[in-house]
């Protein structure tokens, strides 16, 4: 079954999106599974790649930190300044756009990297480092958005996710020691299938807001979906172009593009003012659509020739 899931991983994600949109009741029922499945997803990624994948190579630690700062610190400041000049910084959609640029990579980034032919180890490192640095990189965002109470809630959310990451890594290391056969290369495809299955269930739980929004506030839904598709495509394309121009391989550049476009907005929910929560939940649901279509969309947004082939 896992081999089947691995072969059809891209379409499993599409199926999860469609089920979550069509069945909001099921999506709400699946919400308690999100955090446990995120832990499972991280554990599978470390089982597949090995714990060494979390550590940068010799002499690359500074470059990894600078890359994280480039992905999470500079873009929200530029976008925030532009939105302030246009008078849209305090609107719910303006807040959402700034937050998506400030967020760290999603927990499913290594799984998306596997499905997209990217460097899953680099995606895993960017996820861990981005989450660890989030309280620091998000601080200027809270200065831009004075309606927010402060960065404490975001720091607490990042700390909780780091605890989940640490627990998942510890469990993966233990399993690799107790069951040495898990390190065998031929098991990697089974891990790929398990990650695809976990991500398909997670995305079902994240889509509960879309169908009610289509019925009650279709204008908000259309604006949120348009903005989500545009900001996702721009982030992926810029991250890919900068990585390739710096001389990185296509595999590593895809991982950076995935980290650049796939952002964990949920970490900011605890700090969002109550009046912004509903529109932001609609935007988060809309943003799942391009993120979970990454294995299909990434070739078109990066190497057009590969997509045509």
For tokens 């979390």, the residue is: 54
Domain tally for the chain? 1
- Work out the mean pLDDT of the chain and round it to a whole number: 85
pLDDT given at position 57: 63
Decide: residue 186, CB within 10 A, 0-12 exposed, 13-18 middle, 19+ buried.
exposed
The tens digit of pLDDT for each residue in 114-143 reads 999 899 989 988 988 888 888 888 878 777
Greatest C-alpha distance within the chain: 58
pLDDT higher than threshold 70 for residue 4: yes
What DSSP string describes the chain?
-HHHHHHTHHHHHHHHHHHHHH-HHHHHHHGGGHHHHHHHHHHHHHHHH-GGGGSPPTT-HHHHHHHHHHHHTHHHHHHHHHHHHHT-TTSHHHHHHHHHHHSPBPTTHHHHHHHTT--HHHHHHHHHHHHHHHHHHHHHHHHH-TTS--THHHHHHHHHHHHHHHHHHHHHHHHHHH-GGGGSGGGHHHHHHHHHHHHHHHHHHT-TTHHHHHHH-HHHHHHHHHHHHHHHHHHHHHHHHHHHHTT--HHHHHHHHHHHH-B-GGGGGGGS-HHHHHHHHHHHHHHHHHHHTHHHHHHHHS-HHHHH-
Integer Cα distance of 129 and 262 in angstroms: 15
Integer Cα distance of 32 and 183 in angstroms: 31
Domain assignment of residue 277, given as a range: 2-308
* Mean local confidence (pLDDT), 246-264: 92
Tell me the whole-structure pTM to 2 decimals.
0.86
The tens digit of pLDDT for each residue in 28-75 reads 888 888 878 888 888 998 888 888 777 766 556 678 788 888 888 888
CATH number at residue 170: 1.20.1530.20
Decide: residue 182, CB within 10 A, 0-12 exposed, 13-18 middle, 19+ buried.
middle
Integer Cα distance of 143 and 131 in angstroms: 19
pLDDT given at position 307: 46
pLDDT given at position 11: 92
Residue 228 pLDDT level (bands cut at 50, 70, 90): very high
Integer Cα distance of 122 and 252 in angstroms: 7
pLDDT given at position 146: 63
* pLDDT above 70 as % of the chain: 90
- Span between the terminal Cα atoms of the chain, in Å: 29
Integer Cα distance of 26 and 241 in angstroms: 39
Integer Cα distance of 64 and 252 in angstroms: 12
The tens digit of pLDDT for each residue in 167-182 reads 888 999 999 999 989 8
The tens digit of pLDDT for each residue in 86-118 reads 888 878 788 888 889 988 898 889 999 999 989
Integer Cα distance of 67 and 248 in angstroms: 13
Residue 80's closest CA among 92, 93, 98? 98
What are residue 41's phi and psi, to 5 degrees? -60, -45
């Amino acid at each position: 079954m896992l081999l089947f899931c691995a072969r059809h991983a891209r379409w499993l994600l599409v199926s999860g999106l469609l089920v979550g949109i069509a069945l909001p009741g099921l999506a709400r029922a699946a919400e308690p599974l999100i955090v446990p499945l995120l832990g499972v997803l991280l554990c599978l990624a470390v089982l597949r790649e090995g714990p060494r994948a979390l550590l940068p190579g010799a002499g690359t630690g500074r470059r990894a930190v600078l890359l994280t700062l480039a992905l999470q610190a500079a873009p929200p400041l530029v976008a925030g300044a532009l939105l302030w000049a246009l008078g849209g910084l305090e609107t719910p959609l303006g807040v959402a756009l700034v937050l998506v640029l400030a967020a760290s990579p999603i927990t499913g980034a290594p799984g998306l990297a596997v499905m997209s032919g990217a460097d899953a180890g680099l995606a895993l490192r960017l996820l861990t480092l981005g989450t660890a640095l989030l309280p620091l990189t998000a601080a200027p965002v809270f200065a831009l958005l004075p309606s927010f109470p402060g960065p404490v809630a975001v720091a607490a959310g990042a700390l909780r996710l780091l605890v989940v990451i640490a627990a998942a890594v510890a469990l993966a290391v233990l399993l690799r020691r107790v069951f040495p056969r898990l390190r065998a290369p031929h098991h990697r495809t089974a891990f790929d299938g398990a990650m695809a299955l976990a991500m398909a269930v997670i995305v079902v739980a994240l889509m509960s807001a879309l169908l009610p929004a289509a019925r009650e506030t279709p204008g908000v839904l259309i604006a949120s979906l348009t903005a989500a598709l545009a900001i996702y495509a721009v982030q992926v394309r810029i991250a890919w172009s900068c990585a390739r121009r710096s001389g990185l391989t296509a595999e590593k550049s895809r991982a950076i593009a995935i980290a650049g476009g796939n952002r964990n907005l949920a970490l900011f929910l605890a700090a969002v003012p109550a009046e912004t929560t509903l529109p932001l939940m609609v935007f988060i649901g809309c943003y799942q659509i391009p993120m979970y279509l990454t294995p299909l969309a990434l070739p078109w947004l990066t190497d057009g020739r590969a997509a045509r082939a």
